[in-house]
Amino acid sequence: AQKITQTQPGMFVQEKEAVTLDCTYDTSDQSYGLFWYKQPSSGEMIFLIYQGSYDEQNATEGRYSLNFQKARKSANLVISASQLGDSAMYFCAMREDYGGSQGNLIFGKGTKLSVKP
């Protein structure tokens, strides 16, 4: 079974509007971390935001926020005021602290975001 599911292969958003990229995860660990990375066409993976399973507040980093709903096992990324430079692939990833992945990252298949002018 997939541990990280990103159900949106592609998304379009109008410049200056907000967009939500979905991510659901599957783990039986109580301690884990959730990450979002951005991959522009150049290929490099850029870290955006992190949420620990015990963090009570949703993580925020500038225009990025993570909508963490623990009971639903979802960790959606919200980008506010989209910019043309936000067009890229976005990957959700999970680190299980005690599970079989031994603390390594497990990635979803990604969502391609296109920002329209």
- Give contact residues for other proteins (rule: CB under 8 A): 4, 9, 33, 35, 37, 42-47, 50, 52, 91, 93, 95, 102, 104-105, 107-110
For residue 23, what is the DSSP state? -
Q: Which is nearer to other proteins, 49 or 115 (CB)?
A: 49
- Burial tier of 14 (Cβ tally within 10 Å: 0-12, 13-18, 19+): exposed
Q: Which is nearer to other proteins, 14 or 92 (CB)?
A: 92
Torsion sign, CA atoms 5, 99, 70, 86: negative
Least separation in angstroms between CB 25 and other proteins: 13
Regarding beta strands 105-107 and 88-96, do their DSSP bridges make them parallel or antiparallel, or are they unpaired? antiparallel
Least separation in angstroms between CB 12 and other proteins: 17
Q: Which is nearer to other proteins, 35 or 68 (CB)?
A: 35
